[in-house]
Structure 1
Amino acid sequence: MNEILKEIRKHCFIYLLIAKNCLIGQMEYRFNFVMGFFIEFMWLFVRILYVIVAYQTNIVINGLTPDAVLLYTGTYSIIIGVYTGLFGHNFYELPEHIRNGTLDTLITKPISLQFIITLRNINFSWPLSDVIGGITMVVLAWNRLGINVNIINIVGFSGLILSGILISYSVFLLPRIFSFWLVKTNAITSISEELHGFNRMPYLIYNKWIQRIGIFVLPIFLVANFPPLFVLHRLSYIYILWGIVAPILFGFIVRMVWNAGIRNYTSASS
């Protein structure tokens, strides 16, 4: 147990150093930082247009009002912001590391290879607009929906957002890991990235089979659907439990597939 805690502390310390160095590096190129913020703001604006349309048409989706759609959009924006800032660039580079042989250098480091490959680059400009805009939308929707501000709602909502972030890590890293076996994974990864967009709207708009697949088989609907449903009291105890178990289960699956990929990896110098 002491060894495990020691490793956790070491990796947390290293991650803080990574965050510090990434922030310093990005502040040296402030124009790029501002442009990254502006581009992501444009994507946020597109999502806001969906909400505007919902209010203008006063659409009700399976009992969910435009205010609930605003809550969904805000939640999705927070999670997609964190995903793009912490994981997006790292996942994109994984196939390149494998093809170009730069993995050879990283594999010799006295630290978890999965950790350093998937978390070594943090982009602070990309998530800024999404997270700030997302939190603003959540607060507005929370108030308009009259949701109680209590410990249960705050902890449950925050915990399921964390669950969604962890699910994003596992589900969208998995297709990239196939690069250990396949020369090109562009088609697979493009499809997986498109699946992320399914969370822009409540999963209740899809038929039952798509809902079940998106919850239990490939849990993309856990990413941004469960937190709003929880505070709206429309999430069953089974789904709450699954929201806790799924990140652990899929994290374990990704770890096994990762280890299998590393065993299959052939050094570029071989």
Structure 2
Amino acid sequence: MNIKDYIRLYFHMVKYNIMAQMEYKVNFLLSVFTEVGFLLAKSLYIIVVFSIGLSINGATPDQILMFIGSYTIITGIMDSVYYPNIASIPSYVQNGELDIYLTKPVSCQFLCSFRKFDIGLGIPNVLAGVIMVVISWGRTGTDVSIINIVGYICFTLVGCIVTYPLLIIPTILAFRLIRVDALQNIIFALWDFNNMPMAIYHKNMQRIGVFLIPIFLITNFAPMFVFGILPKAYMLYSIVAIPLFVWISILLWNKAIKNYSSASS
């Protein structure tokens, strides 16, 4: 299969997932309302920032709002696209369901990583995040230029893509360990480091969060670009990061598959 076939297959899977969710509208609405509840809890960060007039390394509360909004957008995408699949991989390995995917004429990694799609988890976060970014853009008086808009979208896409290897690489340990719940919980805990600009952390931690575990690359680069504070070295690195970390995830997955022993045999 070529790339076009995989794109077509993915959109078919998305369509069938949405159709299946619409058959059970009560469950869909409960999922949306639950996520809205989590979103309201997260909004406490915004209340704190504006109530105390918090300024981080020169960033005003209005600028910080764009960082929080970017985090919220990508969290919504992560919840819809990645989380339902990544969370299921350990069970595929343990109960032997992975055997079925290995027999399909499609990449096993692709099926395990993108078969599920939960629109209910993503809608509230993406909408709320976009509203935050638009409000921040207006209140800070940032130039609404083609360069800024395209740059913001591109760096947001970079963050969405890099999110995948960040989540899948630790999950691959499920092929070796019985349970990886604790490790997955650590990764999702690290995810919340993106709530605020990375400038609040020590320089060494920033370097680790950009180059080693690219958690800050995911949601910080887009607003930093818009505000004109993204170093050129980071811009170049973001181009390298996508193929680098995706390649590492594919390499580790293929190695794990070679050593995989069927749970049903």
Which interval holds the TM-score relative to the shorter structure? over 0.9
Q: TM-score, normalised by structure 1?
A: 0.96
Could you say what secondary structure the match of 1:225 adopts? helix
Q: Which amino acid aligns with 2:59?
A: L
Q: What is the correspondence of 1:105-184 to structure 2 with a 5 Å cutoff?
A: 105-184=100-179
Q: Which amino acid aligns with 2:2?
A: E
Q: What is the correspondence of 1:203-222 to structure 2 with a 5 Å cutoff?
A: 203-222=198-217
Q: Which amino acid aligns with 1:176?
A: T
- Matches of 1:36 and 1:241 in 2, distance apart? 39
Deviation at 1:12, TM superposition (A): 1.1
**1:189-218: per-residue Cα shift (whole Å, max 9, x none)?**
111111100001111001111111111111
Given that 1:86 and 1:121 are in contact with CA atoms closer than 8 Å, whether structure 2 keeps it comes out as yes
Runs of 4+ off more than 6 Å: none
Q: What is the correspondence of 1:57-96 to structure 2 with a 5 Å cutoff?
A: 57-96=52-91
Given that 1:47 and 1:73 are in contact with CA atoms closer than 8 Å, whether structure 2 keeps it comes out as no
Which of 230, 237, 242 is the aligned partner of 1:235? 230
- The aligned length equals 265
Given that 2:69 and 2:130 are in contact with CA atoms closer than 8 Å, whether structure 1 keeps it comes out as yes
Q: Which amino acid aligns with 1:169?
A: Y
Instruction: Determine what percentage of the aligned residue pairs are the same residue.
Output: 40
Q: Report the equivalent of 1:3.
A: none
Which of 216, 240, 248 is the aligned partner of 1:245? 240
Could you say what secondary structure the match of 1:59 adopts? coil
- Matches of 1:42 and 1:71 in 2, distance apart? 21
Could you say what secondary structure the match of 2:136 adopts? helix
Q: TM-score, normalised by structure 2?
A: 0.98
Deviation at 1:244, TM superposition (A): 1.7
Q: Which amino acid aligns with 1:106?
A: Y
1:42 lines up with 2:42 in the alignment: no
- Matches of 1:146 and 1:243 in 2, distance apart? 26
Q: Report the equivalent of 1:12.
A: 7
Residue segments in structure 1 that go unaligned for 5+ positions in a row: 1-5
- Matches of 1:63 and 1:44 in 2, distance apart? 27
Deviation at 1:9, TM superposition (A): 1.1
- Matches of 2:197 and 2:264 in 1, distance apart? 49
Could you say what secondary structure the match of 2:219 adopts? coil
Given that 1:181 and 1:264 are in contact with CA atoms closer than 8 Å, whether structure 2 keeps it comes out as no
